[in-house]
Amino acid sequence: MTSSAAAPTPSSVTATASTASTPPWQLWAPPLDPPTTGGLPADTAQQIADANPNANPYLVAALMWESYAAQLPVAPATTSVNTGAQSVTYAGGGDPFSLAIARANWLRSMLGTFESIWLIPGDLDEWPIDWWQRNLENPP
């Protein structure tokens, strides 16, 4: 028995998503609150999308996943082995924080090159001239 239905193409998936009035960034976004309790607040996700309108969609999605991960608790290491000669600790990796960061890293890997948002430290004239040297020589 064969099916006459053709496999969906990217254009048909996009058309289906746009007819449901869903912004395209929601297809790659982390769980949103609402409807998912504890997810990334929908207004925060919208602000990230609005702040980066011309950015690569993978970068926008990675920023959303990183923002989502930042609000999750970090799970402690789950297993520790001590043989006397050495001690090894294995991190969980299956907790929601690790999975969200892994998803963000995967999305950033799609960029091909390093991309980031602009980081603006403020007015550099307000900092002492030797601030960098003092902090590099004597880290906090």
The residues spanned by each domain of the chain are 24-74+89-137
β-pairing verdict for 79-82 and 40-41? unpaired
The pLDDT of residue 40: 92
Q: Which tokens belong to 137?
A: 């020589």
Contact present, 103 and 30 (Cβ < 8 Å): yes
Q: How far is CA 104 from the centre of its chain?
A: 4
Contact present, 6 and 37 (Cβ < 8 Å): no
d(CA 119, CA 66): 16
Biggest CA-to-CA distance, the chain: 77
Q: Please provide residue 14's backbone torsions phi and psi, each rounded to the nearest 5 degrees.
A: -65, -40
Report for 6-20, 70-84, 97-111: range of highest mean pLDDT: 97-111
Nearest CA to 28 out of 132, 116, 108 is that of 108
Among the ranges given (1-10, 48-57, 75-84, 95-104), the one the predictor scored with the smallest mean pLDDT? 1-10
The pLDDT of residue 10: 43
Residues 6+ apart with CB under 8 A from 80: 87, 88, 89, 90
Residue 37: DSSP 8-state: T
Q: How far is CA 116 from the centre of its chain?
A: 12
28-54 pLDDT tens trace: 899 998 888 889 999 999 999 988 888
For residue 126, pLDDT over 80 is answered with no
Note the pTM of the prediction, 2 decimals: 0.58
First and final C-alpha spacing in the chain: 70
Residue 116: DSSP 8-state: -
